[in-house]
Chain A
Amino acid sequence: MIPRDALGYLPETPSQTAGPYVHIGLIPKQAGFDIFDNNLGEAMVAPATLGTRIRVEGRILDGTGALVRDALVEVWQANAAGRYAHPADRQDGKETDPCFRGWGRTGTDFATGIWAFETIKPGPVAGRAGHRAMAPHLNLWIVSRGINLGLSTRMYFGDEDAANAADPVLNIVEQPERRKTLIARPETRDGKPVYVFDIRLQGEGETIFFDI
């Protein structure tokens, strides 16, 4: 049905915006109803999960500085040992954690615009062949009304200065000032580590988004 090109390859299906009602399909509870027994991506951490519990939270701001209150955010991260729960991760000497999938999804709150994940701090992951290890980071993916193709970014940790300084991805950012847009501010709240990471879609302080 889909025409192949001259070499026999198929073109990727075009992206379209997730629209304002993305919650119906991906977070039905936030849309206002309960339908599935198992809400995928809702809880990232179980009692037996290894690693330091952290909260990651932030807002998403549009080009006028207004809150984006209808976005959906997904996170993909390594476990505390720095290994992904995926068969392509064959790093030596790092254990998988059967109690940690590494993926979560949430929506920005309709009132406050805040998104948050209760997760664990990931360990460093091997870089591409011949590159240094990557500093601990979260991979984030954002869709919403008005975003035609999901935006990919990374969140690094503001208390990992040495690892961040050596990170092979941060180091390909030509302007040092822009690297700061990928680094979350550490805080302590009720004795628990919290990382605050605001995402600016457009304009001053615009977050770096990746073509991955």
Chain B
Amino acid sequence: MQADAEFVARDPAAHPPALTPIYKTSVFRAPHRPLLSLENSLSEVTGPVFGQNELGPLDADLVLNYARDGGAPIGERIILHGRVLDGSARPVAGALVELWQCNAAGRYRHRNDTYDAPIDPNFGGCGRCVTDAEGRYAFRTVKPGPYPYRNRVNDWRPAHIHFSVFGSGFAQRLVTQMYFEGDPLLRHDSILHTVADPAARERLVALLDLNASVPLHTLAYRWDIVLRGSRSTLFENRLQGN
């Protein structure tokens, strides 16, 4: 095992704790005992490797990937793009980025979603891509609507898109949610507020990016994702380039 591949420890302040009573489901799903800290071995610094060749040509285009007979989903068309970086601001190339979301009305295509807003026949709600050499990803989709859920009786999720990201090692595995700049529901959302630090919450909010929009066709939002960095250990078994 080479020391140069180890990941830096997660900063607990960057993440929500397991137990966050404002988000009620967490109360019985949070471990009571402390996590056991484990120095990285091969099991943690390795992880599955994905290739562009495993994906279909429309996988990153949610406007087209479930559209039937030339139809299109209803809703605000957006491009969603950004970079996957590590803690040293290096691009993470070859990262599998997957996302899922509800439609413009706030309804998920899922057998357990009983919200009475309609399913969109031309919208599935999932996509995926692999980052390029600069760590860039890009999707096209429609902006999701807000969505009520059972927490407090009048809780509504802000418009959000779920993201799942793989880095180079399984210890970098991350699932999160992306929100949209200026949404007034952000002030009220119990799940976003499981993250205590306001600056950390800000990092989950995508910004309107007019430069990346397509005039007369599609608006754009930009959101960068940061995975854990690796240690650049100067002295352990050997001196390393920094």
Contact = CB atoms under 8 A, between A and B. Distances in A.
Given A148-B17, A212-B171, A10 B88 contact: yes
Interface string A1-29: 11110001111111111111111111010
Contact of B173 (A17, A91, A110, A150): A150
Contacts of A125: 41-43
Interface centre among B15, B36, B55, B176 (most CB of A within 10 A): B36
B204 interface: yes
B26 interface: yes
Interface in B17-54: 17-18, 20, 23, 25-33, 35-50, 54
Given A12-B10, A32-B109, A148 B54 contact: no
Chain A binding site: helix, strand, loop or mixed by DSSP? loop
A146 B37 contact: no
Interface string B139-182: 00000000000000000000000101000111101111100000
Interface string A55-66: 000000011101
Contact of B29 (A85, A88, A202): A202
Chain B binding site: helix, strand, loop or mixed by DSSP? loop
Given A139-B44, A212-B40, A212-B44, A148 B23 contact: yes
A172 interface: yes
A13 B227 contact: yes
A150 B227 CA distance: 14
A110 B41 contact: no
Nearest to A104: B48
Nearest to B100: A25
Given A24-B126, A85-B48, A201 B35 contact: no
Interface in A73-119: 74, 76, 78, 84-91, 101-103, 110
Nearest to A201: B29
Interface stretch (A45-53, A127-135, A158-166, A188-196): A127-135
A40 interface: yes
Interface in A134-169: 134, 137, 139, 141, 143-152, 154, 169
A19 B146 CA distance: 15
B203 A31 contact: no
A12 B54 contact: no
Interface centre among A10, A126, A150 (most CB of B within 10 A): A10
Given A10-B88, A210-B38, A31 B110 contact: yes
A64 B85 CA distance: 39
Interface string A167-179: 0010011000000
B125 interface: yes
Contacts, number: 287
Contacts of B44: 139, 212
A92 B31 CA distance: 38
Interface in B90-137: 96, 98-102, 108-113, 124-126, 128
A146 B54 CA distance: 31
A129 B29 contact: no
Contact of A15 (B43, B175, B201): B175
B138 to A, nearest CB: 16
A169 to B, nearest CB: 6
Given A11-B203, A86-B46, A102-B48, A147 B18 contact: yes
B39 A128 contact: yes
B56 A37 contact: yes
B191 interface: yes
Given A17-B191, A38-B54, A128-B39, A101 B15 contact: no
Given A1-B222, A38-B55, A101-B48, A146 B41 contact: no
Interface of B: 1-3, 5, 9-11, 14-18, 20, 23, 25-33, 35-50, 54-56, 59, 65-66, 85-89, 96, 98-102, 108-113, 124-126, 128, 162, 164, 168-171, 173-177, 191-192, 194-195, 199-201, 203-204, 207, 222, 224-229, 237
User: Which A-B residue pairs are the 6 nearest by beta carbons?
Assistant: A25-B100, A146-B25, A86-B46, A103-B48, A146-B29, A148-B16
9 contacts: A15-B176, A17-B26, A21-B162, A24-B110, A38-B54, A86-B46, A103-B47, A146-B25, A149-B15
